[in-house]
Amino acid sequence: MDIKTEAFTKSLWVFHAACSPCNNCDIEILDCLTPRHDVERFGIVLVGSVRHADVLLVTGVPNFKTKETLKKLYSQVPKPCLVIAVGSCACGRVMFRDSYNSPCSVDEIVPVDAYIPGCPPKPEAMIAGIVKLIVKARSKK
């Protein structure tokens, strides 16, 4: 493992892209930042600009408006970039699969590196998914 990969996986800066979620996943993401779970001790920080992010965290179901916005956000993230789909809606569209306003899933718009299912997923599941993602990033050459 080279120094660049080591530094990349030690401090992940995350940008949260909300593609019309119901806010349950968003509440659980914020719960990860509270002192009880404290993902900041692992170097994971939410950032306000996609241009400073290492990870794009996507919640909700992409619709026609958010589909183009998500493409634009992904093009602005510095590469290498990791993408995480959080929640059942982002992972597979669940009950919105046949909806007229849900043209495709997240992985048809941007390449997804990790899926964290659940409605909403618990903070423990998110932390476990992020750990698996870090292991995956370290194993890439």
**Per-residue CA distances from 102 to 41, 47, 79, 84 (Å):** 37, 27, 28, 19
Q: Virtual CA dihedral for 129, 91, 58, 79, nearest 10 degrees?
A: 70
Count of Cβ atoms closer than 10 Å to residue 97 Cβ: 11
What is the structure's pLDDT at 7? 65
Cis-peptide into 80, omega within 30 deg: yes
State the alpha helices, DSSP H only, in 1-141. Answer: 3-10, 24-32, 64-76, 88-92, 123-139
42: domain CATH number is 3.40.50.12280
Task: Write out pLDDT tens, residues 54-71.
Answer: 899 999 999 999 999 999
What is the structure's pLDDT at 139? 77
Full residue range of the structural domain in which residue 112 is found: 3-139
pLDDT mean across residues, the chain = 87
Tokens matching residue 68: 């183009």
> Does pLDDT of 1 surpass 80?
no
Q: Percent of the chain at pLDDT above 70?
A: 93
Q: Which of 2-11, 54-63, 98-107 has the lowest mean pLDDT?
A: 2-11
Q: Which amino acid is at 136?
A: K
What is the structure's pLDDT at 17? 93
What is the structure's pLDDT at 110? 95
Give the pLDDT mean for 94-119. 89
Give the pLDDT mean for 117-138. 86
Number of domains in the chain: 1
The SS3 assignment for 57 reads: strand
Give the pLDDT mean for 35-53. 89
